[in-house]
A and B are shown apart, each in its own frame.
Chain A
Amino acid sequence: AQSVTQLDSQVPVFEEAPVELRCNYSSSVSVYLFWYVQYPNQGLQLLLKYLSGSTLVKGINGFEAEFNKSQTSFHLRKPSVHISDTAEYFCAVNDRGSTLGRLYFGRGTQLTVWP
């Protein structure tokens, strides 16, 4: 089974500042990696995904993430945040093996952007 660790439960930043949300996963086998965003009282929206190829992936709303296989990390970044980015962010892993289709989630990082 996979284990996903989001190192920060809360990240407060000021508007227009850069931000990085950290994610590490446990397995060294081939995986698919995802970041989802959840606004209050809503479901999950896919921000970006890594399936293969370039280790730097770009998503919606100006977010990007970098896959680092040696460090089993998939950190999410944005160079300049907006107040509307305030939300809960979840890192998720899909094992390409026998549990293909099942997502393992981290506990989430609450990003709060202050004016």
Chain B
Amino acid sequence: DAGVTQSPTHLIKTRGQQVTLRCSPKSGHDTVSWYQQALGQGPQFIFQYYEEEERQRGNFPDRFSGHQFPNYSSELNVNALLLGDSALYLCASSLYRGSYEQYFGPGTRLTVT
């Protein structure tokens, strides 16, 4: 049974560019949440998707957007990258009706230069 997978593992971008990160949830899960973990910090909630809609959003600017596909996989898009966007981006999957337990992927390390 595959767990949560994320791609790519690492990414280097330049300020002002755009980036897309991808996530496949654990088999049987229907909800995907995205978190940003800056160096030395705990993860911060970006947003959550269920039934292809954004259900909750944390305190992140509109430069951060997402999408969920019919197969429950998800993308995180970040436009106009800033140096401060450098972080580990974690995807977590869960069941919406039992979404208190979240399973995390290995993350995508984004470096903005």
Residues in chain A within 8 A of chain B (CB atoms): 4, 6, 32, 34, 36, 42-46, 49, 51, 90, 92, 94, 96, 99-108
Contact = CB atoms under 8 A, between A and B. Distances in A.
Contacts of B107: 42-43
Contacts, number: 65
13 contacts: A34-B101, A36-B104, A44-B43, A44-B104, A100-B100, A102-B48, A102-B56, A102-B58, A103-B102, A104-B45, A105-B35, A108-B40, A108-B41
Given A43-B106, A101-B56, A102-B48, A32 B100 contact: yes
Task: Classify the interface of chain A: helix, strand, loop or mixed.
Answer: strand
B55 to A, nearest CB: 7
A92 B90 CA distance: 15
Contacts of A104: 45
A108 B42 contact: yes
Given A43-B105, A107-B42, A101 B58 contact: no
